[in-house]
Amino acid sequence: MTVAPALLRLENVVKYFPIRTGTLARRTVAQIRAVDGVSLAVRSGETLGLVGETGSGKSTLARCVTRLQDLTAGRIVFAGTDISRLSRHRLRPIRRDLQIIFQDPYGSLNPHRRVGSIIAEPFAVHRLAGGAERRHRVQELMELVGLNPEHYNRFPAEFSGGQRQRIGIARALALRPRLLICDEPVSALDVSIQAQILNLLVDLQDELSLTYVFIAHDLSVVRHVSDRVAVMYLGKVVEVAPVEQIYRRPRHPYTAALLSAEPVPDPDASDRRNRIVLAGDPPSPVDPPPGCPFHPRCFRAQPRCAVEAPALTPRLDDGPDHPTACHFPLGEP
């Protein structure tokens, strides 16, 4: 089996946000370590799922990849080009290939603009397809994502949550990108509508040979769409693996706890389950614990974990596709 080449490569990406005090002499008193050294590759045509709890840095990472945030350190290589320090002007052609959709279908659409002009925005920014041609392309996009093209002149308020998410998707697809970052695209939607949008995203991937980075906190949703999954905790990737492997044989204790914490819509399964309930809350990214960031909540922690940060590397017979950052992974004595 040949592995598709990496379309996107992250090398040791770091994003710190300074915390400043003082009114005249602004001093930086601390750093929020939102993303703290992430290396990942996304292969052409695949869906990489990115899971983690609030504050794990997954959304900040998405904003770094799309350069909506500047990096503190590290490199982002997209389609062979290092984009981590490109100027706004030089980024513009890259943005045609690299698009993002957001969680909130209410906040991400301008309420005063008509749907047609919202979806046409990328054409305007990149000075593509004018006049009747633009209108035609927009209506094609609306049809592609399952909206009625006759609703071209309506305002966002006239659409339901699911339909608004379709508008966001149409806008992101306008320039035929190669990589689409989906940041919690279905979290705000009701179950019956969520399934409609997930099916749409899967269909579009087949039709347009898209590559996805799919960020979500719902593990069953991530499992449904992903080929590989990366788990983040406190700004770091703690485990990456092909989807079935990570769900069946998680190595990192945090991955295992996260999987077992998810409520299952099946009474028998939920009665049978051995739940790992973690103590405490995730620690603050301002002052992450030394050593392994997970050790204060970990049920397998040993003295070494508090001192030495584990490297993200394959354990046991897992193979190069399944690295874990843990000194004492599950399945090892």
Partner 1 sequence: MKLLEVTDLAVSFPTADGLVRAVRGVSFSVDSGQTLGIVGESGSGKSVAMLTLLGLVRGADVSGQALFEGESLLDMPEPRLRAVRGGRVGMVFQDPLTSLHPQYRVGWQIVEAIRAHQRTPRAAAHRRAVELLRLVGIPRPEQRVDDYPHQFSGGMRQRALIAMALANDPLLVIADEPTTALDATVQAQILLLLTRIRQELGTAIIMISHDLGVIAEVADQVVVMYAGRTAEVADRRTVFRRPHHPYTVGLLRSLPAPADDAIRAGRLRPIPGLPPSLIDLPPGCPFHPRCRYAMEMCRDVEPELRPVDGGPGHRSACWLPADAVGMSDSAEHRRLAAGPSPGRAA
Binding site for partner 1 (CB under 8 A): 53-54, 160-162, 190-196, 198-199, 202, 217, 219-221, 223-224, 243-244, 247, 257-270, 273, 275, 277-278, 281-282
CB of 276 to partner 1, least distance (A): 9
Q: Name the packing angle between helices 131-144 and 115-125 (round to 10°).
A: 120
Nearer of residues 72 and 260 to partner 1, judged by Cβ = 260
Nearer of residues 42 and 243 to partner 1, judged by Cβ = 243
CB of 104 to partner 1, least distance (A): 14
CB of 249 to partner 1, least distance (A): 11
Kindly report the backbone phi and psi dihedral angles of residue 242, in degrees, each rounded to the nearest multiple of 5, phi listed first: -60, 145
Query: What is the C-alpha separation between 108 and 131, in angstroms, rounded?
Result: 25
Nearer of residues 101 and 229 to partner 1, judged by Cβ = 229
* CA-to-CA dists, residue 290 to 3, 6, 7, 293, angstroms: 36, 32, 33, 7
SS3 228: strand
Nearer of residues 101 and 243 to partner 1, judged by Cβ = 243
> Cβ distance 222 to 229 under 8 Å?
yes
CB of 52 to partner 1, least distance (A): 9
Q: What H or E segment, with its residue span, contains residue 100?
A: strand 98-101
Query: What is the C-alpha separation between 245 and 319, in angstroms, rounded?
Result: 11
> Cβ distance 186 to 216 under 8 Å?
yes
Query: What is the C-alpha separation between 281 and 296, in angstroms, rounded?
Result: 10
Nearer of residues 74 and 161 to partner 1, judged by Cβ = 161
SS3 226: coil
Nearer of residues 203 and 308 to partner 1, judged by Cβ = 203
CB of 57 to partner 1, least distance (A): 14
CB of 142 to partner 1, least distance (A): 17
